[in-house]
Amino acid sequence: PFEQVELQAPDPILGVSEAFKASKEPNKLNLGVGAYRTEELKPYVLDVVRKAEKKIFEAKENKEYLPIEGLDAFRKATVDLLLGPSHPAIKEARVAALQSLSGTGSLRVGAGFISRFLKGRTVYISNPTWGNHRNIFGDEGVKWEYYRYYDPETVGLDFKGMMEDISAAPDGSIILLHGCAHNPTGIDPNPEQWSQIADLCIKKKHIPFFDVAYQGFATGSLDADAAAPRLFVDKGLEVMVSQSYSKNLGLYGERVGAMVMIVGSKDVAERVLSQLKRIARAMYSNPPTYGARIAAEIVNDADMFGEWKTEMAGMAGRINRVRGELRAALESKYPGKDWSFVTSQIGMFSFTGLSPAQVDNMTKKWHIYMTKDGRISLAGLNSAKVGYLADAMVDSFKN
Ligand code: LMR
């Protein structure tokens, strides 16, 4: 029966890391996956994470199962991080929060919820978006469609197209939005535009579903980066949110995140959480303990929370610095082209506009590994490699 199984193509993002690993080229550079690297291009474990780990180790906690909904201290921390600890929705107990397996696992539980309780509704995702969104909703049998987002002419947001498509979607659709630092474009709506999107969701009775994977990486401030979901909640919308600590706490492999729903009442929140638990139980039973303890220690402790903010700003700052250096290098090597997009985009990525054939040139000739959509992760770049990358980009654009 297995003879008929066809070979699946490598994942468009994680497959790039596999190809990079296999390469023997000394100049190779991995700008594929969105994972933070130090100036030495090494993975980075935050000092505050090491500190929390020490505390956890010394507390000699057991390895019992967590409840299906996860660690209470973590769930509290995560909702505080999203809404701010004194938010009325928290006081009114109308937040259902389920610890889950980072962004993907949380989205998948959310997709499961949609397929059971919002049957027949379509999820609208931005064009382009993170490649895994399509898999996650598709694999749960949830229908998805694109809304316009990126305008290649202006290398900016197609706000008019986005509003038209969200407006044309049937009432009560689910609108997937990136909380901040849109992946892959690095282009976010401005505050006025966010406000208009929220008002349109209210008018259309749409359900906003925020994917919050880069909180802290847009502005360097955890609070400022939660402005969009907070605005929607403050306008009275009920929202679904997936949260990930992979990037901002550097807990990639620990799979730390949550599926959070801010709903109309305490009673609804209780019922919603009971169903999220039912979905998680069949999917993976209960979430892993270790990373959740780390996140909870840090967010729930004022000193460690402060240290995290400083380190977070440091990571965002390093990315911004290489962004500026890359733009300057490109401007000096190819002055005829407008490179301002490099610094107007935010977050971990730059969406370069390189075509698939040009990306091939980047990888085959220059051994720079990146995704086919033309995205590069600036978190994987350092000052020493800026000139090399700029040479490769200029060569690829010119050919
Ligand atoms: C990315 O977009 O590179 C990250 O979100 C990692 C992933 O899982 O794809």
Residue extents of the structural domains in the chain? 14-45+305-398, 65-300
Distance 30 CA to ligand 1 centre (A): 13
Q: Name the closest-CA residue to atom 1, ligand 1.
A: 34
Ligand 1 contact, 185 CB (< 6 A): no
Q: What is the C-alpha separation between 67 and 143, in angstroms, rounded?
A: 31
**Tens of pLDDT, residues 275-323:** 999 999 999 999 999 999 999 999 999 999 999 999 999 999 999 999 9
- Can you tell me the mean pLDDT for 46-66? 96
Overall pTM surpassing 0.95 (yes/no)? yes
Q: Name the closest-CA residue to atom 2, ligand 1.
A: 34
CATH 3.40.50.150 for domain 65-300 = no
User: What's the Cα-to-Cα distance from 224 to each of 159, 231, 258, 358, 383, rounded to whole Å?
Assistant: 21, 11, 20, 36, 27
Q: What is the C-alpha separation between 371 and 31, in angstroms, rounded?
A: 8
14-45+305-398 and 65-300, same CATH topology = no
Residue 239 is which amino acid?
A: V
- Can you tell me the mean pLDDT for 201-221? 96
What percentage of the chain carries pLDDT values higher than 90?
98
Q: What is the C-alpha separation between 275 and 13, in angstroms, rounded?
A: 31
Given a cut of 90, whether residue 121 has pLDDT beyond it is yes
CATH topology assigned to domain 14-45+305-398? Aspartate Aminotransferase, domain 1 (3.90.1150)
Distance 169 CA to ligand 1 centre (A): 28
**Tens of pLDDT, residues 338-379:** 999 999 999 999 999 999 999 999 999 999 999 999 999 999
Given a cut of 90, whether residue 135 has pLDDT beyond it is yes
Question: Which atom of ligand 1 sits closest to the CA of residue 184?
Answer: 2
pLDDT score at 187: 96
Ligand 1 contact, 130 CB (< 6 A): yes
Ligand 1 contact, 379 CB (< 6 A): no
Q: What is the C-alpha separation between 124 and 129, in angstroms, rounded?
A: 11
Ligand 1 contact, 34 CB (< 6 A): yes
Work out the mean pLDDT of the chain and round it to a whole number. Answer: 96
| 239-244 vs 257-262, strand pairing mode | antiparallel
Beta carbons of 269 and 263 less than 8 angstroms apart: yes
pLDDT score at 375: 95
Given a cut of 90, whether residue 155 has pLDDT beyond it is no
Ligand 1 contact, 243 CB (< 6 A): no
**Tens of pLDDT, residues 234-289:** 999 999 999 999 999 999 999 999 999 999 999 999 999 999 999 999 999 999 99
pLDDT score at 347: 94
353: left (phi over 0), alpha (psi -120 to 50) or beta: left
pLDDT score at 154: 87
Distance 33 CA to ligand 1 centre (A): 5
**Tens of pLDDT, residues 68-114:** 999 999 999 999 999 999 999 999 999 999 999 999 999 999 999 99
